[in-house]
Amino acid sequence: MTENYLSPRKALNKAYLKVKPARVDIESFRKNLVKLLDGLDETESEEHIKGTSKNQLLIYTSDC
């Protein structure tokens, strides 16, 4: 099996490339992502970490 690596420009739908996010939104996402990654307990199961990550990302996207 060979792995295909796509650049972000090729992987994204062309409509998303036209949307320019505000710098404030990028910084807010970055801050929340760092907080999420710092709060993860690596000794937990993969399913627990996926659930926690999913919930945090859903909360972030619903706030936007």
Segment 8-64, tens digit of pLDDT: 888 888 888 888 889 998 898 888 888 888 888 888 888 888 888 888 888 767 665
Q: What is the DSSP string of 17-28?
A: HT----HHHHHH
Q: What is the pTM of this model?
A: 0.57
User: Which residue ranges make up each domain of the chain?
Assistant: 8-63
Q: Which two tokens stand for residue 51?
A: 């659930």
Residue 3 to residue 8: CA distance in whole angstroms: 15
